[in-house]
A and B are shown apart, each in its own frame.
Chain A
Amino acid sequence: ETGVTQTPRHLVMGMTNKKSLKCEQHLGHNAMYWYKQSAKKPLELMFVYNFKEQTENNSVPSRFSPECPNSSHLFLHLHTLQPEDSALYLCASSQEGTFTDTQYFGPGTRLTVL
């Protein structure tokens, strides 16, 4: 595997479910990001982790809980989501945690909340 991988690629869940999205980067980068891409809207930054420490939380509701156990892995734990949370969730990584670094994106997880 090379680059940034995300699992699962598709997820359907009910509002009372708990699920997790996984992201793994094989690039030796130190920063990882979660973005949300909703239909007809720009990509929205959710979280940034730099050297496993969260450096950015872009006013994301607490029903989204990120976890970064090491620089290669990033999770997004989902709990009691709403239908409006249905979107494509993209993970990205970069060498450092500055936005001037080129970010490398994963394929995304298409989430549907029923």
Chain B
Amino acid sequence: AQSVSQHNHHVILSEAASLELGCNYSYGGTVNLFWYVQYPGQHLQLLLKYFSGDPLVKGIKGFEAEFIKSKFSFNLRKPSVQWSDTAEYFCAVISNTGKLIFGQGTTLQVKP
């Protein structure tokens, strides 16, 4: 069965540090990939998505993610984090059965 792995469960950074959250998926076919974010007390919302084309995808709030097919990865990056980026981040992939499969999530804590 398809799966999504987020290896970093809890990340703590200082403001202005660079961020990279790992996401690996197990499906070898055509994939559609997503990053969702949940800020404290807010709804889960889409950060960015990749369906095809340029493997470097830019999302909201300065986030970007790079699809590397050979590594089955879709890591999320931001060059300089802010305190307001404190949230839980979820990677997701559409499986070959058409279902959206989520990773376990990574909690990011940014210290001011």
Identify the A interface with B (CB < 8 A).
3-4, 40-43, 45, 56, 58, 90, 92, 98-100, 102-107
Q: Chain B residue with minimal CB distance to A58? A: B99
Question: Which B residues from 78 to 99 make CB contacts under 8 A with A?
Answer: 90, 92, 94, 98-99
B46–A100 CB distance below 8 A: no
A92 nearest in chain B by CB position:
B44
Contact A105–B44 (Cβ < 8 Å): yes
CB distance from B32 to the nearest CB of A (A): 6
Q: Closest chain B residue to A41 by CB distance?
A: B104
| Residues of B close to A43: CB separation below 8 A | 90, 92, 102
Contacts known (A40-B104, A43-B90, A100-B51); A4 close to B98, Cβ less than 8 A: no
Q: Told that A99-B94, A104-B43 touch, could you supply 19 new A-B pairs with CB distance under 8 A?
A: A3-B43, A4-B43, A40-B104, A42-B4, A42-B90, A42-B104, A42-B105, A43-B92, A58-B99, A92-B44, A99-B100, A100-B32, A100-B51, A102-B46, A102-B49, A104-B45, A105-B43, A107-B42, A107-B43
Residues of B within 8 A of A3 (CB): 43
| CB<8 Å pairs between A and B, sample of 27 | A3-B43, A40-B104, A41-B104, A42-B4, A42-B90, A42-B101, A42-B104, A42-B105, A43-B90, A43-B102, A45-B100, A56-B99, A58-B99, A98-B98, A99-B94, A99-B98, A99-B99, A99-B100, A100-B32, A100-B51, A100-B94, A102-B49, A104-B45, A105-B44, A105-B45, A107-B42, A107-B43
